[in-house]
Structure 1
Amino acid sequence: MSRPQEFDTQVALSQAMQVFWRKGYEATSMADLLHATGLSKSSLYATFSSKRDLFLAAFDDYRRNRAKDMFKMLGEDPARAAIEKFFRMAISDAGTCNGEGCMSINQAVELAPIDAEVASRVCGDFTGMERALAKTIERGQKEGSIASSMSALNLARLFVVAFPGLQVMVRAGCERVDIEARLTALLAVLD
Structure 2
Amino acid sequence: MARTKAFEPQKALDAALEVFWTLGYDNASLEVLLAAMGIAKQSLYDTFGDKRSLFMLAMQQYRRNTITSMQRMLATAPTVREGFAALLHGLAAETREQHERGCLLLSANLQRNLDDEAVASFLQENNDEVESVFCAALRQAQQRGELRAEADPQALARFLIVSVQGMRAMARLKSDRAALAQVADLALAALH
- TM alignment of 1:51-130, pairs within 5 A: 51-76=51-76, 77-93=78-94, 95-97=96-98, 99-111=100-112, 113-130=114-131
- In structure 1, the partner of 2:180 is 179
Asked whether the 8 Å contact 1:94–1:101 carries over to 2, the reply is no
What letter is aligned with 1:67?
Answer: I
Shift of 1:65: 1.4
Aligned-residue CA RMSD (Å): 1.9
Q: Aligned partners of 2:101, 2:4: CA distance in 1, in Å? A: 35
Q: Aligned partners of 2:167, 2:62: CA distance in 1, in Å? A: 20
TM-score w.r.t. length of structure 1: 0.91
Shift of 1:88: 2.1
Question: Can you list the C-alpha shifts for 1:14-65, whole angstroms capped at 9, x where unaligned?
Answer: 0011000000001110110111011111111221221111111111111111
- In structure 1, the partner of 2:10 is 10
- Structure 1 residues 114 and 25, CA, compared in 2 at 3 Å: closer, same or farther? farther
3-state SS of paired residue (2:70): helix
Shift of 1:174: 5.2
- Structure 1 residues 92 and 104, CA, compared in 2 at 3 Å: closer, same or farther? farther
Moved more, 1-10 or 37-46: 1-10
TM-score w.r.t. length of structure 2: 0.91
- Structure 1 residues 20 and 174, CA, compared in 2 at 3 Å: closer, same or farther? closer
**What is the aligned length?**
191
The runs of 5 or more residues in structure 1 that have no matched partner are: none
- Structure 1 residues 9 and 174, CA, compared in 2 at 3 Å: closer, same or farther? closer
Q: Aligned partners of 1:127, 1:98: CA distance in 2, in Å? A: 24
- Structure 1 residues 182 and 144, CA, compared in 2 at 3 Å: closer, same or farther? same
Asked whether the 8 Å contact 1:17–1:58 carries over to 2, the reply is yes
- Structure 1 residues 78 and 112, CA, compared in 2 at 3 Å: closer, same or farther? farther
Percent identity over the alignment is 29
- In structure 2, the partner of 1:164 is 165
Moved more, 24-33 or 86-95: 86-95
- Structure 1 residues 94 and 134, CA, compared in 2 at 3 Å: closer, same or farther? farther
Question: Can you list the C-alpha shifts for 1:119-148, whole angstroms capped at 9, x where unaligned?
Answer: 111111111111111111111122232237
Structure with larger RCO (C-alpha < 8 A, sep 6+): 2
